[in-house]
Structure 1
Amino acid sequence: MHLSWQLLEDPVEIINSKLELQAFDQIDEEIKLIGYFKGEDSEPLPLGETLGLKMNEVDFYEPFMDEPVHIPDKPYTEEELVEFVKEHKRATLRKLRPEDMFETWEDDMEGIHIVAFAEEDDPDGFEFLEILKQVARDNTDNPDLSIVWIDPDDFPLLITYWEKTFKIDLFRPQIGVVNVTDVSSMCLENPAIPRLG
């Protein structure tokens, strides 16, 4: 089952095959919930066991996380699930997307975020992003950590603005700290970050 905050499509999907399970696993940049339920008409499928789920259990996945959080206190009502997701929706690592770019900056971190620019399709950017994902996985329980990943390819009209504002070159991965409450920033020069050219 996949719940999405954007209700452009049906937010609940029934996973009935290994192929559908693989498609679920490919969802990496969004929050996802998966539950294992059996109705009277259901045929037994080992997919729940494959996921490590027990009957009537729901797991919550933060974006970019491999390991889920088991939602406690089953059985669940829809309101309880929605409340749990609302309480846990601020992920450690988030990708800035055009459809939710303003919401991404407005959280309870007093406006301070680690911001990383990396092109996912670029080999150096991909490696840098994998390091960011590992840092997020290792620190997912730290409520004071907020990493915002920006793929410049998603915002072609903002590349020049960001380069001038932050005094950076977006043809290579970059990382820095941004305080959105007073619009201050500091980009880090790190020789360990792969550089092009």
Structure 2
Amino acid sequence: MTKNESSNMTPMKEDYLKIIFELGGTQKKISNKQIALSLNIAAGSVTEMVNKLVKEELVEHTPYAGISLTKPGILLAEDLVRKHRLWECFLVYKLNYKLQDVDGESELLEHVTSEYLLDHLNEFLGYLTHCPHGGVIPDKEGNYEEDSHLVLEAVEDGTKVNIERFIDNHDLLTYLDDLELHIGDKLTVVSHAPFEGPVEIKLENTGEVRNISYKAAHYIFVK
């Protein structure tokens, strides 16, 4: 990815690359529906933007199979994610921001962050490998351990899982804060209500039962 190519990026294109990365688009095909759900936008808008990213050779689209990042798309997404998540760590761990309030600030900061500043920020934070909502932080060479891409909604009834991470979405993080659901929580999936109803879960440490909305259950990654 050259400087000229990256300068053609818009915040919306960057959001697409980051969400495709987060949903597992470095290794598998992601559906339009997954992107639409995650970004809370219409499926038609996703198709339009994906077509633009295909023309710029940042993503590949296989009809009826889905969307994945190309090598240039992966490199750009990794750089964006690294900057964004290091700033999230700084805001949460050093300035005591609430997790649901850091996305907008991190979005602004990532666009004015030089590699020099990023190196010093990374050192100051102690070379963290994950951000506060559980997402990986690629190192300077682009190395990182791949996240789980299994969403809570896709887990079969009766299965025990651990919460690994949340999608970086303000409304979701506020919702989960109200439900007191956290990274690392162990739970059992009890049942899925029909017709896109909630997913009922039981927390292992307290025995409490929670109902997670259908949409939110697509934003929670488990292992």
- Report the TM-score, using the length of structure 1 for normalisation: 0.32
Higher helix share: 2
- Report the TM-score, using the length of structure 2 for normalisation: 0.29
